[in-house]
Amino acid sequence: MRLFLLIFITIFQIGCNAQPWVKPYERDKLADPLMSTAPNPIDSGYLSHVYQSREASRGAEGTSGGGCGCN
Amino acid sequence: MAATRGPSVKWFSRVLLAYSPAHILLSRRGLLTQAPTRKVFYIRHIKPVNLTLKNKKFIFLVGWLLSGLLHAAVLPEQRMDVLYHSYDGGGMEINGPAVLVRKNLKEKYTISGHHYIDKVNGASVDVMSYASPYVEERQESSVNLGFLKDKSLFSVGYLTSAESDYDANSVFFDVSQDFFGDLSTISLGFSRGWDEVGNSSDENFSKEVGRRNYRIGFSQILTPKTILNLGFENVNDEGFLNNPYRQVRYFSNTNFYEYQPEIYPETRTSQAYRLGVIHYLNYGASLQGSYRLFNDTWGIKAHTYEMQYQQRVGWWTYSGKLRFYQQNNANFFSDLFPYEDFSDYLARDKELSTFQSQVVGVGVSYRFKDFKPRGSDHMSINFFIDHLQFDYDDFRDATVTEDGSRIDAEDQPYYQFSANVARFFISLWY
């Protein structure tokens, strides 16, 4: 938790004191579909459910699901 | 060479739309996987152009002017996915179809919905120890409405899941805001869920579960090729959190062990923290890694590590991934309690035991070069398969007997199983 807060605050500090350093014309690579963390939402949603049904962990996956399906 | 003569109008229109911060930010949040319009999609197929300094400044200036006018006036991509999934392992076969549709309206609103079906056949080892395999179906549906205002995206949704003995309903609200020259995005979300737990062998059995999820996400463009993502989610559960069928076992002098129903606490609070980085590699590939830390009030702590590599070759995209997961047990878990009603809370679910799992996955996608159904922009077919391996450290396989008779629990091996999870789906952009 402390480490997470430290990273979070550090980034905010940098953000408050710096100017945007990546110019719009430098962002073509970022727009590439390869840079999407969840290029196929229907697939990532399904996999999250597979993991949630078999592990105690939950949350912070970026997808939602419901039900039990855990027997 | 075109740049030395000055970029053409057609080229410009592609670049400016692709450089739209909203497009980029939506893309990297997974809301866009392709560019939002037909014109923009082809941005990655433009031949490399050596931009002069003058052109760069010009594009920068016009790009920013345009982005100021457009704000975040780009909604998530319009697409439809039809998927078939199959899970096979650990005594269970689960398969079925799923569909996801997303449509935008008036360049301001977006609506999406999904429907998903699980057909379950079999039973996990927990149930097989004292019951029989079963056949069941679970259906899940959701609808989500989004509204784009300047650089903020608001969305509300409803999700429902129904099984013969378990109903879950939840509403959720999310908002995300771009700032810091659109290099940063912060998102906040809240969900409220109501579950109803039944029991197929007792029609009068009915229990409730309430759930609240609070989540915050932060995404930061670090370099022209690197994005950092941070996530946090807190979940509160309250109500009947047991599985009504599962039982724990306790030591017996006469028959090695006996069973009694499990008892869970009626509240649970958990936190999950996730840190992820994705980096673009110049030869048409990307590499991403993430770490998630989880803990809860039941004493469980878990670590998840994931790595994924994607490589594009022409119209094909190949991917490979590794996932490692490790957790310790809940403080009221035991494979064998010393005696009946040993404590206030009792659990023998393997999901609450100490274990680790590894996943190896590969996938391939093909985007059709020429073929597309009428009215669509383009389509792709995709196949992914993951192999899962679970190894338990304190959960024994109670189905192991000797000539049908029970044996000492300590003579039973620790449980382990593997499973294959395959998905085939067709995606259509329009």
Reported ipTM: 0.81
Please tell me the predicted confidence (pLDDT) of residue B63: 39
Do the Cβ atoms of A28 and B286 come within 8 Å?
no
- Closest-approach residue (CA) in chain B for A43: B423
Question: Phi, psi (5° rounding) for residue B180?
Answer: 55, 60
Q: At what angle do helices B21-28 and B53-70 cross, to 10 degrees?
A: 80
Please tell me the predicted confidence (pLDDT) of residue B368: 94
Do the Cβ atoms of B30 and A39 come within 8 Å?
yes
Q: In a mutagenesis test of the A interface, which of B221, B298, B307, B366 is the best target, namely the one with the most A β-carbons within 10 Å? A: B221
Please tell me the predicted confidence (pLDDT) of residue B21: 41
Residues with pLDDT less than 70, chain B: 1-74
Nearest CB partner across the interface for A68, out of B100, B163, B352: B163
Residue A69 has pLDDT above 60, yes or no: no
B chain contacts of residue A25, beta-carbon cutoff 8 Å? 15, 19, 51, 56, 59-60, 63
How far apart are the C-alpha atoms of B81 and A1, rounded to whole Å? Answer: 37
Nearest CB partner across the interface for B28, out of A36, A44, A70: A36
Task: Answer with the residue of higher pLDDT: A5 or B272.
Answer: B272
The answer to whether B210 touches B196, Cβ cutoff 8 Å, is no
Other Cβ atoms within 10 Å of B90 Cβ, number: 21
Q: State in Å, rounded, how far the first CA of chain B is from the last one.
A: 33
DSSP string, B321-381: EEEEEEEPPPTTB-SSBSSTT-SS-BB--GGGS-EEEEEEEEEEEEE-SS---TT-SEEEE
Do the Cβ atoms of A60 and B317 come within 8 Å?
no
Sign of CA dihedral A53, A54, A56, A62: negative
| Of A57, A3, A58, nearest in space to B327 by CA | A57
Do the Cβ atoms of A57 and B272 come within 8 Å?
yes
Interchain contact A54–B (C-beta under 8 A): yes
Residue A64 has pLDDT above 70, yes or no: no
Interchain contact A27–B (C-beta under 8 A): yes
The answer to whether B377 touches B40, Cβ cutoff 8 Å, is no
Q: Tally DSSP H helices, then E strands, for chain A.
A: 2, 0
Residue A35 has pLDDT above 70, yes or no: yes
The answer to whether B213 touches B235, Cβ cutoff 8 Å, is yes
Do the Cβ atoms of A24 and B60 come within 8 Å?
yes
Interchain contact A60–B (C-beta under 8 A): yes
Please tell me the predicted confidence (pLDDT) of residue B79: 95
Q: In a mutagenesis test of the A interface, which of B23, B116, B126, B247 is the best target, namely the one with the most A β-carbons within 10 Å? A: B116
| Of B185, B186, B138, nearest in space to B159 by CA | B138
User: pLDDT grade, residue A62 (50/70/90)?
Assistant: low
How far apart are the C-alpha atoms of B208 and B377, rounded to whole Å? Answer: 45
Please tell me the predicted confidence (pLDDT) of residue B100: 97
How far apart are the C-alpha atoms of B205 and B263, rounded to whole Å? Answer: 16
| Of A33, A17, A34, A68, nearest in space to B349 by CA | A68
Task: Answer with the residue of higher pLDDT: B115 or A62.
Answer: B115
